[in-house]
């Protein structure tokens, strides 16, 4: 996942636009003022990366706000649930609920129009929930923003990966240690809390077509609920 951040961006609907413009650093919620130092800043860059991803996984859930040039999302995610919204910049947006291998997706008018145009037929209506399982291509593509596997198989790097540990700094009032990966002139920076649990609280990239993420609400229940009212079966296409 770390190396992929510097080489490709996952997108199931539109192609990312390449830009030399740097994106703003991601932001995160401040911890309790009574939180004590955890000593993570004394570890190597690789250890910080691995320990922070493990801490996020051990939390069991988190709120994840992602942005890049062609998409953004605000999702609460666990190993088995995901709920929130995804905005595909040039195509529209949708609400999303994922529970186990079942998902419910509600497109807005712009996304329904775009997908119907792509399919050459009226498959979707805006404001309607569509239900399907993860073996359905339509469901697979639109739930790809729910990275539930990060809680069961957190990303790790080996010592051969070139990372740089920078000095402790402050991000939105929170003390963090940045870990930076650089390749081909592009960078990804991971910000890890040095107080309380060593959570990964933000990821910031140097290009707008690469992914920025903020992490918060660690351990809070996702509470993904099946939609009520009219629900239609998702198209197969």
pLDDT single digits (tens) 72-108: 999 999 999 999 999 999 999 999 999 999 999 999 9
Residues of the chain with pLDDT under 70: 1-34, 237
Q: How, if at all, do strands 231-233 and 129-133 pair?
A: parallel
pLDDT at residue number 237? 60
Backbone angles phi, psi at 220, to 5 degrees: -75, 140
pLDDT at residue number 120? 84
Tell me how far apart the alpha carbons of residues 180 and 124 are, in angstroms, rounded to a whole number: 43
Catalogue all structural domains in the chain, each as residue range(s) with its CATH number.
22-226 (2.50.20.20)
Closest CA to 17 of 63, 65, 69: 69
pLDDT at residue number 44? 96
CA triplet 12, 8, 199: central angle to 5 degrees?
A: 95
3-state secondary structure of 155: coil
pLDDT at residue number 119? 82
pLDDT at residue number 97? 98
- Report yes or no: 74 and 83 within 8 Å, Cβ to Cβ: no
pLDDT at residue number 236? 83
Model confidence, pTM? 0.84
């Amino acid at each position: 996942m770390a190396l992929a951040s510097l080489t490709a961006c996952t997108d199931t609907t539109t192609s990312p636009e390449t830009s030399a413009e740097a994106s703003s650093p991601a932001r995160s919620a401040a911890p309790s003022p009574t939180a004590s130092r955890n000593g993570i800043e004394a570890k190597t860059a690789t250890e910080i990366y691995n320990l922070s991803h493990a801490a996020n996984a051990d939390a069991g859930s988190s709120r994840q706000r992602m942005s890049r040039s062609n998409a953004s999302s605000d999702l609460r995610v666990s190993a088995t649930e995901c709920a929130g919204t995804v905005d595909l910049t040039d195509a529209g947006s949708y609400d999303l609920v994922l529970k186990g291998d079942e998902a419910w997706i509600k497109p807005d008018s712009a996304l329904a129009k775009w997908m119907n145009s792509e399919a050459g037929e009226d498959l979707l209506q805006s404001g309607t929930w569509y239900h399907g399982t993860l073996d359905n291509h339509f469901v697979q593509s639109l739930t790809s923003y729910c990275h539930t596997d990060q809680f069961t198989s957190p990303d790790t790097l080996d010592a051969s990966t070139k990372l740089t540990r920078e000095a402790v700094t402050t991000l939105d009032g929170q003390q963090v240690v940045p870990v930076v990966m650089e390749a081909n002139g592009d960078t990804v920076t991971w910000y890890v809390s040095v107080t309380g649990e060593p959570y990964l609280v933000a990821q910031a990239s140097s290009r707008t077509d690469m992914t920025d993420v903020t992490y918060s609400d660690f351990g809070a229940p996702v509470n993904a609920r099946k939609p009520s009212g009219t629900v239609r079966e998702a198209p197969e296409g």
